[in-house]
């Protein structure tokens, strides 16, 4: 178990897992996409999050993706690995394997299959057991849109007292709860906004950064929004936040991972196909995504 305290302040793109036309993981595409992202002053990269289609990957594929990403990410930037499984023991095992290939922190989504039994006590025991056994710091991942569970602030506050719990990525969009978390937890517990749609409001109530799909295709704009906030440039921050909402909505709650990958293809990165049972976008929606990118000022990547 690590008691390391490190800063999560900044921007983390949750990278997609690229597949080739045969449905295999395209490791070279990971390297190429990260080469682009490495040009920006990002705090780190999230690998095997929801945008990484982590639930659709075999364990050996997950470890290959993590190994490739670590080799492609500068050593001074964090690699946060999605290791959450339905079982506490499986999550602990994967966190150890992720640490062995160079992950700096473990992102653990709430278990959800036995949803009605995931009481506050069950969640607390799950996360504290993982934190006790993981060789790297643990970040809680609250993603009610996918899990159907929105872990409450009081439960998170209890979990946060473990020294190996570094923070939370909250994708609920509940700004009131985020503010409550800042009130209920110690300063070492760091809050990350889980979407660019509410990044500025989250910062205003104590979030230190964000894990945002939009940062894959608009890292410069996400960084600019954060910098405006840090400098107290409220009007510029507000205007940029508002301008980015339609783009972010299209590649998250609108059409999801298929739209993010389509946007990457349009812009000159490698998005590629999704893995079944996810379906690719039809031409009409792809055209709409391209139009939204244009209207949002998201430019093609040259060279």
Separation CA 251–CA 72 (nearest Å) = 25
**E strand residue ranges, the chain:** 10-12, 44-47, 78-82, 105-109, 138-142, 165-170, 190-193, 209-211
* Cβ contacts of 11 within 8 Å, gap of 6 or more: 40, 42, 43, 209, 210, 212, 215, 219, 222, 223, 226
Separation CA 286–CA 129 (nearest Å) = 43
Residues 121 and 128: beta-carbon distance below 8 Å: no
Separation CA 269–CA 261 (nearest Å) = 9
Q: Which contacts of 284-288 are long-range, i.e. CB under 8 A and separated by 24 or more positions?
A: 285/255, 285/259, 286/262, 288/250
What does DSSP say about strands 78-82 and 44-47: parallel, antiparallel, or unpaired? Answer: parallel
Among 62, 169, 177, 261, the one annotated catalytic: 169
Please indicate whether residue 97 is annotated as part of the active site. Answer: no
| Cα angle 116-90-102, degrees, rounded to a multiple of 5 | 130
| Residues labelled as active-site residues | 169
């Amino acid at each position: 178990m690590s008691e390391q305290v490190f800063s999560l302040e900044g921007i983390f793109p949750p990278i997609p897992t690229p597949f080739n036309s045969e449905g295999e993981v395209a490791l070279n595409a990971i390297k190429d996409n990260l080469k682009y992202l490495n040009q920006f002053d990002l705090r780190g990269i999230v690998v095997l999050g929801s945008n990484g289609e982590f639930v659709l990957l075999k364990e050996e594929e997950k470890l290959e993706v993590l190994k490739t990403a670590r080799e492609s990410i500068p050593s001074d930037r964090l690699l946060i690995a999605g290791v959450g499984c339905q079982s506490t023991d499986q999550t602990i095992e994967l966190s150890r394997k992720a640490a062995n290939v160079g992950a700096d922190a473990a992102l653990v989504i709430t278990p959800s299959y036995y949803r009605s039994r995931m009481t506050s006590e069950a969640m607390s025991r799950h996360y504290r057991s993982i934190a006790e056994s993981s060789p790297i710091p643990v970040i809680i991942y609250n993603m009610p849109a996918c899990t159907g569970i929105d872990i409450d602030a009081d439960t998170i506050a209890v979990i946060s007292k473990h020294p190996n719990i570094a923070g939370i990525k909250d994708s609920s969009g509940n700004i009131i709860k985020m503010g409550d978390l800042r009130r209920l937890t110690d300063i070492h517990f760091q809050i990350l906004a889980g979407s660019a749609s509410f990044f500025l409001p989250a910062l205003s109530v104590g979030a230190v950064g964000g894990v945002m799909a939009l940062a894959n295709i608009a890292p410069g704009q996400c960084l600019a929004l954060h910098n405006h906030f840090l400098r107290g440039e409220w009007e510029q921050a507000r205007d940029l936040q508002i301008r980015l909402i339609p783009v972010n909505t299209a590649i998250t709650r609108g059409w999801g991972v298929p739209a993010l990958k389509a946007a990457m293809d349009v812009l000159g990165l490698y998005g590629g196909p999704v893995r079944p049972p996810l379906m690719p976008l039809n031409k009409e929606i792809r055209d709409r995504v391209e139009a939204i990118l244009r209207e949002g000022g998201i430019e093609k990547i040259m060279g």
